[in-house]
Amino acid sequence: MRDLDSIIKAYDVRGVFPDQLDADLAHDVGAAFVQVLGIRAEDGGAGAVVIGHDMRPSGPDLVSAFAEGVREQGCDVVLIGLASTDGLYFASGRLDLPGAMFTASHNPAQYNGIKLCRAGAAPVGQDSGLRDIKAMIIHGIPAYEGRIGEVREQDMLADYASFLRELVDVSKVRHLKVVVDAGNGMGGFTVPAVLEDAAGLPALPLTIVPMYFELDGSFPNHEANPIEPANLVDLQARVLSENADLGLAFDGDADRCFVVDENGTVVSPSTLTALIAQRELAKHPGSTIIHNLITSKTVPEVIVENGGVAVRTRVGHSFIKATMAETNAIFGGEHSGHFYFRDFWRADSGMLAALHAIAALGEAPTGTTFSSLLTPYLRYTPSGEINTEVEDQQSAVDRIRAAYESRVGVSVDDLDGMTIDGGDWWFNVRSSNTEPLLRLNVEAADASTMEQIRDDVLAMMRAGA
């Protein structure tokens, strides 16, 4: 019996192929997806599912099995072939169909996974369908006696590229040299279509220096996970050697984007969130913008300074997207490099974030560097996320709470883990969903305070490790 709890996770289906995620399971997920979401036209649903996959070798076989499960339940299938995850979200939004994206994002080569969404790219997570899909697979998927669904293929890449360039127009920016590290992932498929002219769009005033654009799910150069500093070293060096204006790095399915400035310095996703927030508020004055609780305090400050409404939420795309829907927020950003846009069906798009970075620099006066553009947003010193293995996590959290909550001027909240705010410093401690880890993020007005708080909290954590 498969351990579905280890495969069907909070936001997606993910596991080692074929030991955990194989064709049989993909078939069952497809069939249960139709049943749980009521996708058949006769039940009032969309009547079809759109499916895409990344460059992993196991993708086509898993797609075929999933599609067969969908068809056996009386639903049609629209195959868009190779796609980034935001390319699948685009197809789901443009076609108004539920979708399935086969990807394991930044995970190593032996993994694959399935990200599911409702029509209009609305997320499917544990509380919005995944738990019920898992239960149906365990207890048995009801057979369907009606017609078998049909399959058609549809290429969405050109429409995707055109749509993004309409949302963020970079056609009139000054000339920029941009190094792009696709990490052998789907950025190598989408960047030429959006930033060059492979999709038949007009050429842009950009010189793109490609790195690792060859689609290769074995990731021969480095892991396609730009949140890890080691995976950005090649990009940093190339930006310097090319005397480039900017560097961009995408993860495996290209739904996340990290930026490197002209000095080879990695730009914090919080800083990029603040920059994009200011740009979006210039277009939509007074609007709401979402940020998760471990982005820099700079983010809500910039939002308020620019006349917007800042709303703080838990970490995770399902919480961001739900809060965006509730508040009609125009934009949302996370510390992990996920950026969400109302005009993109509230879905995350690494390419849209990249276009904003290019536009912000390209619209600035000649001679402006990306690092100088970001100076107003560099207000605090962050620790970055620090993971510590702790067996008795609750006892560790209780120790930390007891040490800080009685201090004058300190506030404590439990929105997501525990956040303790001391005014000119704050920290958050959260448990991992899958490992015996506590995650610590600290930020302070100066480096010495950050280091003092960081070391103090880590010592209390490790006392019970």
Check: CB of residue 102 under 8 Å from CB of residue 66.
yes
Catalytic residue among 105, 128, 383, 431: 105
d(CA 325, CA 332): 11
**Most distant pair of Cα atoms in the chain: their distance:** 69
Yes or no: say if 23 and 15 are a contact pair by the CB < 8 Å rule: no
Based on the residue annotation, tell me whether 105 is a catalytic residue of this protein: yes
- Active-site residues, by number, are 105
